[in-house]
A and B are shown apart, each in its own frame.
Chain A
Amino acid sequence: MTSQLDALQTIFTEFYYWTTVVLMFLIHVGFCMYEVGASRYKHHQHTLMKNTMLIPLVTVTWFLFGWWIYWAFPTGPGLAPSIMTESTGLVLGGGFGGNDLANPTNELMAVTLNDHIMGVFWAAFLLFSWTAASIVSGAVIERITTFAFGILAIAIGSVFWSIDASWGWHFDGWMLKLLGYHDAYASGVIHAVAGGFALGVLVVLGPRIGKFSSSGEPRNIGPRNPWLVTVGLFLIYTGFWGFYAACNVPIYDLGPEYGMEGVTFFTATNIYLTPTTLSGITMNFLMSLSGGLLAGYVISKGDPFWTYSSGLAGIICASAGNDLYHPIQSLIIGMIGVVIAYKMHYWVERKFKIDDAVGAVAVHGYAGFAGLVICGFVLNGYPSSGYGVGEMWDGSTYAAINPLGMFVGAIVMFFVLGMIPGWIIAKVLNGMGKLRIPREVELAGLDYQIMEEAKEDEKTVASSSS
């Protein structure tokens, strides 16, 4: 960097993403606290360990291939030509948007004086990956093996979310071009896909022992530590601020980017490089959170667990279009999402005997799915990309946002890249006898041995006279 202004823009962008990464770490802290609060005493430490170990597993695989997948698959492959290569094949070349820059052997994936952005951008996406895996983690507590969860975490965190982001959360993604897909803050690409994946796993994994009576009636296994659940969810809200900021490009000159000669227009953009403002999305974040809390309080009759979760569901439902909605639209959409998620949770639980221990499928999956569909109606007619005309795109124009395209997009996210892969991988793990812990251990508690050892240690210390 030789120009002071260029340097300032670059270093600002670097610091901006770094800050979002630190904030987003709180999402994981929140998920860990929430899960421990929701689990029973005899499973606490295992529950925490399971969610903790997804951090290194997803990080390593995100470095090896997850990030590479994101940059390689925007064309499908075979579904729509790239605006960079004009080919429908995998994007394998170098340069901006080409996936050579995400090759783990590339110098950009290390400390290099030629680049200040790759590492923090990689990390921001990685934190999204942890979130996707952590969503699944909550649903399967108290009966899954750590090994199986590790495999599933890598699958959703470093493969399927990466593919869906490449398809629908990338300025060159085929879903924008063919479907008019729009999902600015990841109702679908994080939440619907992870919720769907969790549902697929739950179908195979089965309920916790005692969750359903012999006649099939569900029993409530409520949170054991409501305060941990509360603080955990509030931390997730806090981390979500970072998530929203990380979904934006903080400063970008769209004039030359769109091929508009002589036009300079600096703005923040979403991931599709269409304009929005950090200021506006802040209002929408708070209004959709409020809508979720209001609706959750009423529909659950003041149940704390559901009310706090509903705040999250409200944000998730409005997220697809929160770059453009009016704040009051965000609030209403958040409320609608909560009603759908709550009703769907209990209907699926009774009808299919699905034990979603923390309501993850509801809060993330159903609310995310609903958010995509609603976005198709409310933003009907908006361009899905600024690249519809200009030098970078010589095919047909990008499809505009529309209800049918968004509905198909929701199906792709929840079922095609979420539920079906989750079900298949869980089936394979189950076939290997590696999915579920033995019945005796589930009854005794996953922490039985640790607790027994701690008791013996305490006895030894207590009986010591020196």
Chain B
Amino acid sequence: MATVNNWIDHLTAASKADGVAGKIYPGAGSEGILVIILVIIWIGWTVISSRQESDKLEKLARRRPSSNAWKSNITDG
């Protein structure tokens, strides 16, 4: 996983062949997989949070609190 094992070797190679030793993050070369994982996280979060919100709104709508009921929920801290 480690892209760099020795900074002296790495920077020496980089200075000799400018541009070939730039990547220093772990798993260099796996960028495509990381992007796919990010897309899955994004879509997954959207689906899950949307369901959570819909459930919460439906439950509250069924209870039909009056427009002033929230005042009785004010706490004094």
Contacts and interface: CB of A to CB of B under 8 A. Distances in A.
Interface in B51-77: 53-54, 56-67, 69-70, 72-76
B75 A106 contact: no
Interface string B26-48: 00100110010011011000100
A112 B73 contact: no
A147 B49 contact: yes
B24 A112 contact: yes
A443 B73 contact: no
Nearest to A40: B70
Interface stretch (A30-38, A60-68, A74-82, A185-193): A60-68
A137 B22 CA distance: 40
A451 B14 CA distance: 58
Contacts, number: 104
B19 A114 contact: yes
B23 A110 contact: yes
Q: Could you tell me the dominant secondary structure of chain A's interface residues? A: helix
Contacts of A439: 61
Interface residues on A, range: 35 or more
A104 B35 contact: yes
A451 B61 contact: no
Nearest to B46: A150
Nearest to B28: A107
Given A105-B32, A107-B28, A443-B67, A147 B53 contact: yes
A112 B32 contact: no
A451 B57 contact: no
Contacts of B76: 458
Contact of A449 (B25, B32, B38, B60): B60
Nearest to B51: A147
Nearest to A151: B46
B70 A444 contact: yes
Contact of A64 (B38, B53, B64, B75): B38
A145 B53 contact: yes
A105 B23 CA distance: 12
A113 interface: yes
Interface in A233-255: none
Interface string A52-74: 00000100110110000000000
A107 B49 contact: no
Contact of B69 (A113, A114, A448): A448
A431 to B, nearest CB: 16
A98 B32 CA distance: 20
A64 B76 CA distance: 45
Contacts of B73: 448, 451-452, 454-455
B43 to A, nearest CB: 10
B50 interface: yes
A444 B46 contact: no
A41 B70 contact: yes
B15 interface: yes
A100 interface: no
Given A60-B42, A445-B70, A455 B75 contact: yes
B65 A111 contact: no
A202 to B, nearest CB: 21
A441 B49 contact: no
A438 interface: yes
12 contacts: A60-B41, A64-B35, A105-B32, A111-B25, A112-B23, A112-B24, A113-B22, A147-B50, A440-B65, A443-B65, A444-B63, A449-B60
Given A60-B41, A444-B64, 8 more contacts: A105-B32, A110-B23, A114-B18, A114-B22, A115-B22, A147-B46, A438-B61, A455-B75
Interface of B: 14-15, 18-19, 21-25, 28, 31-32, 35, 38-39, 41-42, 46, 49-50, 53-54, 56-67, 69-70, 72-76
List the 10 closest A-B pairs by CB distance, nearest first: A114-B22, A451-B73, A112-B22, A438-B61, A444-B65, A105-B31, A443-B67, A440-B61, A42-B70, A147-B50
